[in-house]
């Protein structure tokens, strides 16, 4: 069986994400708390993702899978994104994260200052470590409908939806993803860098099984999958994002150039203009989305025609005084305030979407067990959980507000407040919220029945019992632009 050699036009880029504050709350140095928090978190991640994540271990020739990358050299344990030199030149504090050297923060702003800058103005994040995929062909829709619970039939062209890759036998979350429909048989989706090896193995297996279920004469063309290693990805996030990006858009058509008509969850393929009068040689895929709770954009940048294009785009964006570079520290605290999950911490294969509080990713048209649309991975487990959560779930992901003192970090045990020792849950993420003036917030899993708003529990923080209250997420108002 031959490998399909044609690279889709999108994959070629033709048409187309330690300074410490001295301010104190409750007698505790807030910046020091966050410094300890990130030493712990990134130390854990370094161990978890130490193994090389080379593409060659997961490629299957019969699948028509291509890596859109010009490099065939062996990768080292710690890889670099297209922005590594750019980060170093801008005094980024580099740390290992998900197998990549990534900026934790930059010298010009502390973590808290960077977080607040994003909430008030705009920040630019390098998210090129994440894995960009393009899948095209007459079987693309059917495959994605099997491995995710998304309502793809109602997803319009150039619209996106947050979803999950699901384990076939358990319905557990293989990874979270954003799926974008580019055309009737064309989809773009992004997965997590820390799950690259597992995701590629999962997708390889699923695609191979899908292809083998087709007529032999059509197997070579039913699905073509490209890993877009030739594209960088940045996230421009914050209330000033649109004003910073709008003047840079090349006005090919008035409708396309106007970002006020590009709403949350939509994308366009646009050129940007440079100060010298030139423009990007290829269109960039600009999606109005992000993982901070703010208005913003993720910009996929092709490098085939200009390897230096990611740097040029980044320099162009930060030339606006309202845009500053930001790193992992701010990105993590921003997403936690927004109630968003981090894979490997807040969600994993052990959780189905309903357990993780993500039942809404299951499309309404996919919930009827008698419908053919309900035939997705893990549906036999997930659909009963959605229908009768009180009877089928033993735990749920919820948010907490924790009384003052040291923050409740990942792994902190949640106990019955009355006796202070009966375990009822565990914290998966927690920190002092910069936006809320240092109030300790956390998310985690708690026993079914204790998940309701206002329920008081205890959390053991450094062997001390702290009172915590179940709190609705997000802690900050989402500011996604909807027109």
Judge contact between 131 and 227, C-beta under 8 A: yes
Which tokens is 249 given? 């858009």
Evaluate whether 325 touches 318 at the Cβ level (below 8 Å): yes
Q: Residue 475: which residues within 8 A CB-CB, separation 6 or more? A: 337, 338, 339, 399, 401, 433, 435, 436, 441
Of all helices (H) and strands (E), which one includes residue 412? none
CA dist., res. 195 & res. 215, Å (int): 32
Structure tokens that stand for 359 in this block: 């039942």
Residue 300 phi, psi (nearest 5):
-95, 125
DSSP result, 325-388: E--HHHHHHHHHHTT---BTTTB-TT--TTTTT-GGGS-GGG--TTSGGG-STTHHHHHHHHH-
**How far is Cα 57 from Cα 224, in angstroms, rounded to an integer?**
19
Q: Summarize the annotated binding site for substrate as residue ranges.
A: 298
List, as residue ranges, the binding site: 298
CA angle 188, 189, 190 (to 5 degrees): 140
Which three-class secondary structure state does DSSP give residue 284? strand
Count CA within 13 A, CB hemisphere, residue 384: 8
Structure tokens, 81 = 């994104």
- Across the beta sheet with 231-237, the strand order is 267-270, 284-287, 296-302, 231-237, 122-126, 323-325
Strand 79-80 relative to strand 100-106: parallel, antiparallel, unpaired?
parallel
Q: 232 in helix, strand or coil?
A: strand
Taking alpha carbons only, the member of 134, 98, 150, 133 closest to residue 331 is 98
């Amino acid at each position: 069986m031959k490998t399909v050699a044609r690279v889709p036009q999108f994959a070629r880029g033709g048409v187309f994400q330690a300074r410490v504050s001295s301010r104190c709350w409750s007698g505790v140095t807030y910046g020091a708390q966050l410094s300890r928090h990130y030493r712990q978190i990134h130390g854990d991640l370094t161990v978890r993702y130490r193994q090389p994540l080379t593409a060659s271990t997961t490629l299957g020739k019969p699948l028509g899978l291509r890596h859109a990358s010009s490099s065939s050299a062996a990768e080292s344990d710690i890889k670099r994104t297209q922005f590594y030199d750019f980060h170093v030149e801008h005094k980024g504090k580099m740390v290992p994260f998900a197998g990549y050297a990534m900026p934790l923060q930059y010298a010009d702003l502390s973590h808290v200052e960077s977080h607040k800058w994003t909430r008030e103005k705009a920040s630019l994040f390098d998210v090129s470590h994440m894995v960009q995929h393009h899948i095209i062909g007459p079987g693309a829709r059917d495959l994605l409908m099997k491995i995710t619970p998304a309502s793809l039939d109602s997803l319009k062209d150039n619209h996106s939806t947050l979803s999950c890759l699901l384990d076939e036998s358990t319905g557990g979350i293989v990874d979270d993803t954003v799926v974008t429909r580019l055309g009737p048989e064309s989809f773009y989706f992004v997965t997590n860098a820390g799950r690259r090896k597992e995701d590629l193995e999962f997708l390889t297996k699923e695609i191979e099984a899908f292809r083998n279920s087709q007529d032999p004469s059509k197997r070579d063309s039913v699905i073509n999958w490209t890993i877009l290693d030739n594209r960088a990805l940045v996230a421009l996030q914050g209330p000033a994002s649109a004003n910073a990006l709008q003047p840079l858009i090349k006005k090919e058509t008035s409708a396309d150039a106007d970002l006020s008509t590009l709403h949350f969850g939509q994308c366009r393929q646009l050129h940007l203009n440079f100060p010298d009068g030139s423009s990007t040689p290829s269109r960039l895929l600009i999606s109005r989305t992000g993982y901070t709770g703010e208005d913003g954009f993720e910009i996929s940048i092709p490098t085939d025609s200009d390897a230096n294009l990611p740097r040029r785009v980044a320099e162009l964006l930060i030339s606006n005084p309202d845009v500053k570079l930001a790193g992992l520290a701010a990105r993590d605290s921003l997403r936690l305030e927004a109630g968003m999950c981090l894979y490997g911490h807040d969600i994993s294969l052990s959780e189905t979407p309903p357990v993780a509080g993500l039942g809404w990713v299951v499309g309404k048209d996919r919930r009827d067990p008698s419908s053919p649309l309900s035939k997705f991975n893990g549906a036999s487990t997930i659909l009963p959980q959605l229908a009768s959560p009180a009877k089928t779930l033993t735990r749920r992901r919820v948010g907490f507000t924790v009384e003052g003192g040291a923050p409740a970090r990942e792994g902190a045990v949640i106990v019955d407040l009355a006796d202070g020792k009966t375990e009822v849950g565990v914290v998966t993420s927690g920190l002092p919220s910069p936006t809320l003036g240092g109030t300790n917030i956390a998310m985690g899993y708690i026993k079914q029945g204790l998940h309701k708003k206002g329920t008081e529990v205890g959390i053991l923080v450094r062997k001390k019992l702290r009172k915590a209250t179940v709190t609705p997420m997000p802690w900050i108002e989402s500011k996604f632009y909807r027109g």
